[in-house]
Structure 1
Amino acid sequence: MIEFSHVTKDFRGTRALDDVSFTVAPGSVTGFLGPNGAGKSTALRVLTGLSRPASGSATVLGRPYADLGCPALLVGTLLDAGALHPGRTGREVLTLGAMTLGLPRSRVDEVLDLVGLTRTESRRTAGGYSLGMRQRLGIGHALLGRPRVLVLDEPANGLDPQGIRWMRELLGDLAASGCAVLLSSHLLHEVEQVADRIVMIGRGRVLADGTLDELGRGRSLEQTFLDLTADADRSAA
């Protein structure tokens, strides 16, 4: 379970998040959809304890992220695939993560298989990986602890069509096993292919929250999204 409750966040006099409230239930994939600069990444930073809100709260499994003890055993996060150490091999990245979490090294091979990185690829340094390979490695790192909650920021970036299909299937399987998945993206088409619910955000405010059918109401989801973001832009002007 993820819950945002009336979260507000300001940066240098600019309101980045404005009374943001929504939940992500166990066993579901919630798409967090909005254009670049809408507030998605700020919300995820608040959720994972990297930034403090001015007011309101964001909790995971009923508690603030920082109060979870060993968060990575409960919450898997991928906020920036480019943050991987470029001089370490993919296997080293996962092995260090497993050691930190007290997991057996056999979990590294399980995760490599899960994300589709070969043994040869795992021996290459992350600095030589394509963006798609870094995404796979980052998702693998997030899954090391078999988390109950998964938070992903733009995980489809750099993935080829086969990789995107793999990611859809993976997220569907995780949700079916009871995991609560929050998928942040500006790519409407990719979100609607996998999400059970969608939260649309613009100018730091939640514009809509519901299932695909609820948000469409006879129109395409794209048109609903364009209309809502245009309304938000006009209100801010």
Structure 2
Amino acid sequence: MIEFHRVSKAYKGVRALDDVSFTVRPGTVTGFLGPNGAGKSTALRVLAGLARPTSGSATVLGRPYAELERPGYEIGTLLDAGALHPGRTGREVLTLGAMLLGLPRTRVGEVLELVGLSGKEAGQTVGRYSLGMRQRLGIGHALLGHPRALVLDEPANGLDPQGIRWMRELLRGLAGSGCAVLLSSHLLHEVEQVADHIVMIGRGRVLAQGSLEELGRGRSLEQTFLDLTADTDRSPA
């Protein structure tokens, strides 16, 4: 389970997050939505231990990231596919990750197959990958340790329609196996098809949360999003 409890984060006196609370339960996909600069990336960085909250707590399985005994087995994250080493091959990236987690090399082959990079792509350097291929590799890296929670920031960027369908089926399958999935995306139509629960933020605060039915009340997710975020500030966060 992923839980944000009254999380606030300020940078030089400016609040990027303001009293954010929500829960991502096992076996569900939670869509995390908001305009540019709403605070989504800041929230994910706090959860992944890359930024310290000014107050409140963000936990995975009841613990902050820094206190997890085996974080790679408990939470997988993809925050920036562009951070993958461009000079290493896809197979090398996953092999190094598997070594750090103490996993057998067979797991690398399994993950390459899972993300559709098991052919010649596995031997190409990441610098030659398209954005969609880097996204697939980043998702694979996040899944190496069979984590119980998964956090993805804009994972569909660069994916073609076939890739988006693959990702949708992957996330539903992971949730079906008990994984808690937190998905940040601007592709509202895709979120609408895959998410069980929605959290919308603006100006660093939670504007609304609930099931699609509870939030929509007959409206599309896009219309609900536009209505709720119409007056929010889009300053960078």
Q: TM-score, normalised by structure 2?
A: 0.97
Post-superposition CA distance 1:106-126 (Å, at most 9, x none): 000000000011331000000
Cα separation, 2, equivalents of 1:215 and 1:61: 27
Unaligned 5+ residue runs, structure 1?
Answer: none
- Is 1:174 matched with 2:174? yes
Q: 1:231: how far off?
A: 3.5
Cα separation, 1, equivalents of 2:187 and 2:201: 13
Q: 1:193: how far off?
A: 1.3
Trace 1:65-80 onto structure 2 (pairs within 5 A): 65-80=65-80
Contact 1:36 1:186 in 2 (8 A): no
Q: 1:233: how far off?
A: 4.1
Q: Could you say what secondary structure the match of 1:231 adopts?
A: coil
Cα separation, 2, equivalents of 1:159 and 1:34: 21
Give the equivalent residue in structure 2 for 1:229.
Answer: 229
Greater shift, 190-199 or 21-30, is seen at 190-199
Q: Could you say what secondary structure the match of 2:192 adopts?
A: helix
Trace 1:99-114 onto structure 2 (pairs within 5 A): 99-114=99-114
Post-superposition CA distance 1:110-167 (Å, at most 9, x none): 0000001133100000000000000000000000000000000000000000000000
Q: 1:13: how far off?
A: 2.0
Letter in 1 for 2:102: G
Q: Could you say what secondary structure the match of 1:232 adopts?
A: coil
Q: Could you say what secondary structure the match of 1:147 adopts?
A: coil
Give the equivalent residue in structure 1 for 2:34.
Answer: 34
Post-superposition CA distance 1:12-49 (Å, at most 9, x none): 22110011000000000000011111100000000111
Q: 1:67: how far off?
A: 0.5
Give the equivalent residue in structure 2 for 1:188.
Answer: 188
Unaligned 5+ residue runs, structure 2?
Answer: none
What root-mean-square deviation, in Å, do the aligned CA atoms of Structure 1 and Structure 2 show? Answer: 1.1
Letter in 2 for 1:38: A
Give the equivalent residue in structure 2 for 1:124.
Answer: 124
Q: 1:203: how far off?
A: 1.1
Cα separation, 2, equivalents of 1:208 and 1:187: 18
Q: 1:223: how far off?
A: 1.6
Letter in 2 for 1:80: D
Trace 1:9-24 onto structure 2 (pairs within 5 A): 9-24=9-24
Give the equivalent residue in structure 1 for 2:46.
Answer: 46
Cα separation, 1, equivalents of 2:205 and 2:161: 32
Letter in 2 for 1:230: A
Letter in 1 for 2:167: M
Cα separation, 1, equivalents of 2:233 and 2:121: 45
Cα separation, 1, equivalents of 2:233 and 2:119: 48
Give the equivalent residue in structure 2 for 1:4.
Answer: 4
Contact 2:109 2:118 in 1 (8 A): no
